[in-house]
Amino acid sequence: MSFSLTTDARETFIFAAKNVFRDYETTPPAPEPITGNTWDNVTGNEVKEAALALIRDGKDPAKDKSIQELLLRWQLSQSGIFPVLAAENENQTLINEFNAAVKGLEALTPAAEEDAQILANAASRLTIPNLGDSYSGSPRDAMLHAGARVADARLSKYAEAAGTLLYLRGIQVQGEHMTPNWFALAPLTFKDAHRHSLRSAGTASPWTLAHARINIEPAANIEEIQERINAYTTGKRAIERQVEAALPQWQNLPRDAYQDAITRAVNGETMRDARGGIVTWAN
C-alpha cells in the first residue's frame, strides 16, 4: 500500500484482520522478510576481548585486520547507527505485516461469498428481522437459522476489517451518516439504502441486507468498494436533481418535506409540485 499510515493505524487494521482470519480459520500470507537493512552491534568489551586474545597469541592487534574492522564497527555502533536501523526495521516489519493482512483479507472473498449464499438461502425461508431472536421453527429452518448466525457473524467482522481500512484511507460516503462498511458487502444503490433505512445505519449488518433481499457480493478489494461508493453517490445525486428540478423552491422546504419528496422519487410515486401540478417520477 502506498498511502501513509501511523503505527497505531496499521496495528488497528492488523488486529481487526486477525479476528477475521481466526473466524474463517485461515492464515494470511506471510509478510515479506526484511533484507539488507541489518547491523551487528559491537561493544567495547568485544573489542577488548578480541585484542587480548591476539596479544596472548603473540600477535599485534594494531596490525590485525580483524581487529581494525571490529574497532570500526564499534565506533559506528557508538554513533547510534544500531537504534536507527532497529527502528527502521521495526517499522518496515509492521508495514509488511499490514500489507500481508490486506492481501489476506482480499483472498477471503470466495469464503465470504459462500457465507453470503448461506444468508441468501436462510432469508428465502426465515422472516425474522434479527438473527439474535430465538427461533422455534421446523428442524430444517432451525438449521438454516444456526448457519445464518455463524455466517452473519463472520461477514460482520469481514466488513468491519474492510471498514477499518476504508477509515484509514479516509474513504467515506459523502453527505451521509451511513458507514462505508456496507459497500464492502454489497454494491448498495441509493434507492435500496433509502427504502430500507440504511442511510443512517452506523453498523453494517449482513443479515439486514439478506432479509431485505439485497444481494450480498463481498468486494474483492478497496478499489472496488470505492467504485461502489462513487456509484451510490451518483445515484443519490440523480434523485436529488429530479426532486430539485420538479420543486423550484426546494431550498425552502422543511427537511421532512424534502425527504418525503426524495422517498416519492425513489418509489416512483407522484406528488404535487410548488405550483400545484402533478409530478411523476419513473421508478
Average pLDDT value for residue range 56-81: 88
Q: Summarize the confidence of residues 27-46 as an average pLDDT.
A: 82
Instruction: Return contacts of 236-241, CB within 8 angstroms, 24+ apart.
Output: 236/175, 236/176, 236/190, 239/190, 239/191, 239/265, 239/266
Strand partners, 278: 272
With 70 as the cut, is the pLDDT of residue 279 above it?
no
CA distances from 133 to 119, 128, 130, 143, 214 (A): 15, 8, 6, 14, 21
Question: Given this model, what pLDDT does residue 136 score?
Answer: 78
- What pLDDT shows up at residue 177? 82
SS3 of residue 83 by DSSP: helix
In this predicted model, which residue has the larger pLDDT, 139 or 114? 114
pLDDT in tens, 204-249: 789 999 999 999 999 999 999 999 999 999 999 999 988 888 887 7
The cell 416519492 sits on which residue?
Answer: 264
The pLDDT confidence band at residue 1, using thresholds 50, 70 and 90, is very low
Are residues 245 and 235 in contact, defined by beta-carbon separation less than 8 angstroms?
A: no
Element (H, E) at 243: helix 222-246
The residue-averaged pLDDT of 116-130 equals 93
Q: Output phi, psi for 183, to 5 deg.
A: -80, -10
- For residue 132 the three cell numbers come to 439474535
The 8 Å CB, 24+ separation contacts for 191-194 are 191/235, 191/239, 191/266, 193/232, 194/262, 194/263, 194/266
pLDDT at 104: 93
Evaluate whether 45 touches 71 at the Cβ level (below 8 Å): no
User: Taking the mean position of all CA atoms in its chain, how far away is CA 78?
Assistant: 43
pTM of the predicted model as reported, rounded to 2 decimal places: 0.77
Location of C-alpha cell 418525503? 260
Confidence of residue 276 (pLDDT cuts 50, 70, 90): low
Q: Residue 279's beta-bridge partner residues?
A: 271
In whole angstroms, give the CA distance from residue 191 to residue 263. 9
Tell me how far apart the alpha carbons of residues 131 and 48 are, in angstroms, rounded to a whole number.
71
pLDDT digits (tens, 9 = 90+) for 165-209: 898 888 888 888 888 999 999 999 999 999 998 887 777 789 999
Residue 280 dihedral angles phi and psi, to the nearest 5°: -120, 130
How long a stretch of residues is the chain?
Answer: 283
Confidence band for 2, pLDDT divided at 50, 70 and 90? very low
Model confidence pLDDT, tens digit, residues 253-266: 788 888 888 888 89
Q: Are strands 270-272 and 278-280 parallel, antiparallel or unpaired?
A: antiparallel
pLDDT at residue 24 tops 70: yes
Give pLDDT, residue 220: 92
Number of H helices, E strands in the chain: 11, 2
Q: What percent of the chain has pLDDT over 70?
A: 92
Q: Residue 280: what pLDDT?
A: 61
Q: Is the pLDDT of residue 271 over 80?
A: no
Kindly state the cell numbers that stand for 110: 470466495
